[in-house]
Structure 1
Amino acid sequence: MASPNLTEIVTTTLRNRSGKLADNVTKNNALLAKLAAKGNAKPAAGGRTLVQELEYAENSTFQYYSGYQLLDVSPSDVFTAAEFDWKQGAVAVTISGLEGRIQNAGKEQIIELLGARIKNAERTMKNNIALGCYADGTGTGGKEMGGLQLLVPKDPTTGTVGGVNRATWTFWRNQQVQDATMTSATIQPKMQQLYLSCSRGRDQPDLGIADNNAYMAYWQSLNPIQRITNTETANAGWKNLEFVGMPIVFDGGIGGGCPANTMYFLNTDYIFYRPHSATNMVPMDDVRSINQDATVQMILWAGNMTLSNAMLQGILWKA
């Protein structure tokens, strides 16, 4: 078995960093950063599923009336709920007895080696959760997160999301606009169309996310005029342009997760990041001994993304 002292070093080092890792995961993704800023990164303590309450209809008893006319007092069914499965992720930090006891003798040297491996594990966890924000939930046999490709798909008329069938319930369908060429000449009218489709009075999209091609098309369309950036988003480190006061954030380039030829218009009041409150980038409670002279510690995450209003979300994509 590995040295108890080595096990203690691995465990305490990871525990000291777990809170920082959870915080950095949200900062690593523009959508998660926006949700955190709005209070929509909401940890959940448990339950069979993640339940998201939905207000899907207006009260049907409203009426104009006169004098002694009878009023409609019948109950209205206006609420339902969507249920999202828990998804789990893990990354392992390992150190062998040879590395920990012999090659890196001394506590400081062990921590230095661990530090490099933990940073790599953190980077791995951050990148995969960030990519999961765009996933359709079918990867790894359906074990991955359900991100924007599930919540705001190109075809919103099919599929079941959160237990609600979109073929049956029109209120659970997002908006979608196709752009056959996605060039600087075509993209702004399509963006305007999508923005209006996703707006309901003062309820309007507040975050746009684009891949390389969509961002470039919009950027080039602004060449004749001064480009405007959203100061709040820019100060957070995100490259962005502005569209009717809404930041359009670039999430392409190396390791970018936004699907090709795609731009999302999101109303983040109704999108949630729901990590488990006790399993949010934390090391396992115990270090498990295996049939090797090594110490293995797992960093665990559980949670998912949820949605409470689909019709105010939109996607612009190249057909």
Structure 2
Amino acid sequence: MASPNLTELVTTTLRSRTKQLADNVTKQTALLNRLNSKGRVKPVSGGRTIVQELEYAENSTYQRYSGYETLNISPSDVFSAAEYDWKQASVAVTISGLEQIQNAGPERIIDLLESRISNAEKTMTNNIGADVYSDGTADGGKQIGGMQLLVSDAPAGTTVGGISAATWAFWRNVAFSSVTDGGGAATTANIQSYMNRVWVQLVRNADKPDLIVADNNYWRLYLESLQAIQRITSISDPASAGFSSLKYMTADVVLDGGFGGSAPVNHMYFVNTDYLFYRPSRERNMVVEDGDRVPVNQDAIVKLIQFAGNATCSNRSLQGVLKA
């Protein structure tokens, strides 16, 4: 006989794990893990769009003067905002009437639910992890706008957060092609030279990249370029814990590829995480929806784990990519 409290069992079992799921998503990619450790995971309460404030210019009234010379006190327009659309995702956990009968008894039902919830968590984690490296075009633009959008291969041709980089030069990230700009495909011999050329374009006084994420190929090339001098991997930064990490200048160089990795092939992103954010909804950050979904023409119960949010950037000019 099916448990009369099955709906409650499904709901409470899911809800006891959704906060864990939200935390786990940020821990499963080096990029989100670093954003979380830097306090750059900033939930959003609501709104038509996700608004990310930014500074796009310096104060224009700076002047050198002498004595009684008239000073410039004109107002300066230095702030603006980028607007990012909400992106939504869900994973369904279902159990049919027949499965309730076949798994009668609390222990058996819990075993079945645990297996399906575990699978749903992996599905959500893997897909969000992939989306943070995307260009946001999958499923008709319903995908999170990830690194391939925020730190584009063709920065002058992108519109991000409603701001056209073709019109506004301050909104263009740095992009360096090993073949086009460097003169040859990246190798163990030249990878550090190419990284140097990207790095120098991203340093602004104390501002500099603190994280470099790479796919398998570029991370291996960098590793092999260091092995001749026996460079030791860095494990001092807890934000890199669990990820294969090297050092370049002051930044961690992290493998965000590996088996099933989502970093695009032959890419290395130079990230200044002071200006990059993961913005989940406060109300839909891997939460279980309220109420029951019972299909009118099926003997089943469905529960959805739901996400809404996006990735945002407040300064693209201090982000860079080394690509093939």
Same-fold call, TM > 0.5?
yes
**Displacement of 1:253:** 2.3
Alignment partner of 1:247 is 2:246: no
Q: Matches of residues 198-217 of structure 1 in structure 2 within 5 Å? A: 198-217=202-221
Write out the 4+ residue segments of structure 1 that deviate beyond 4 Å after TM superposition: none
Cα pair 2:97 2:299 within 8 Å, conserved: yes
Q: Distance in 2 between matches of 1:165 and 1:216?
A: 35
1:187-245 deviations in whole A, cap 9, x for unaligned? 10010111111110110100000001111111111121122322215862001111113
> SS of 1:306's equivalent?
strand
Measured in 2, the distance between the counterparts of 1:130 and 1:263 equals 17
Aligned residues of 2:3 and 2:104 also touching (Cα < 8 A): no
Output the CA distance in 1 between the equivalents of 2:201 and 2:243.
Answer: 26
- Secondary structure of the corresponding residue to residue 199 of structure 1: coil
How far did residue 67 of structure 1 move? 1.1
Residue of structure 2 in register with 1:237 after alignment: 242
Q: Tell me, yes or no, if the aligned pair for 1:22 and 1:281 is still in contact at 8 Å.
A: yes
Q: Which amino acid aligns with 2:78?
A: V
**1:117 matched to 2:116:** yes
Establish whether residue 315 from structure 1 lines up as the match of residue 310 from structure 2.
no
Q: Conserved in 1, the CA contact under 8 Å of 2:145 and 2:311?
A: yes
Contact 2:152–2:158 (CA<8 Å) still a contact in 1? no
- 1:219 maps to 223
Q: Is the 8 A contact 2:89 2:308 kept in 1?
A: yes
| Amino acid paired to 2:209 | P
1:293 to 286, 296, 299: 299
**Contact map agreement 1:210 1:258 (CA 8 A) in 2:** yes
Matched, 1:191 2:195: yes
Give the aligned partner of residue 257 of structure 1.
262
Q: Secondary structure at the match of 2:59?
A: coil
Give the equivalent residue in structure 1 for 2:175: 176
Secondary structure, counterpart of 2:66 in structure 1: coil
Q: Which residue number corresponds to residue 25 of structure 1?
A: 25
CA contact (8 A) 2:240 2:254 kept: no
Provide the rounded CA distance (Å) in 2 between the counterparts of 1:219 and 1:179: 17
- Aligned partner letter, 1:46: G
In structure 2, runs of 5+ residues without a counterpart are: 180-184
- One-letter amino acid matched to 2:142: K
Among all aligned residue pairs of Structure 1 and Structure 2, give the percentage whose two residues are the same amino acid: 58
CA distance in 2, matches of 1:165, 1:72: 31
CA contact (8 A) 1:53 1:81 kept: yes
Equivalent residue in structure 1 for 2:283, among 278, 300, 304: 278
- Give 1:21-170 correspondences, 5 Å limit: 21-100=21-100, 102-170=101-169
Distance 1:225 1:233, change over 3 A: farther
Question: Normalising by the residue count of structure 1, what TM-score does the alignment of the two structures yield?
Answer: 0.97
Query: 301, 304, 310: which is aligned to 1:304?
Result: 310
CA contact (8 A) 1:207 1:247 kept: yes
Q: Distance in 2 between matches of 1:96 and 1:62?
A: 69
Match of 2:182 in 1: none
CA distance in 2, matches of 1:9, 1:234: 36
Does 1:8 find its partner at 2:14? no
Match of 1:267 among 272, 275, 294: 272
- Native 8 Å contact 2:210 2:271 kept in 1: yes
168-177 or 231-240, larger mean C-alpha shift: 231-240
SS in 2 for 1:222: helix
Q: How far apart are the structure 2 equivalents of 1:66 and 1:76? A: 22
Structure 2 letter corresponding to 1:132: D
RMSD: 1.2
Deviation at 1:288, TM superposition (A): 1.0
Q: CA separation in 2, counterparts of 1:182 and 1:258?
A: 17
Q: Give the CA deviation at 1:51.
A: 0.3
Alpha-carbon distance between aligned partners in 1 of 2:204 and 2:250, rounded to the nearest angstrom: 16
3-state SS, counterpart of residue 312 of structure 2: strand
Equivalent residues of 2:34, 2:240 under 8 A apart: no
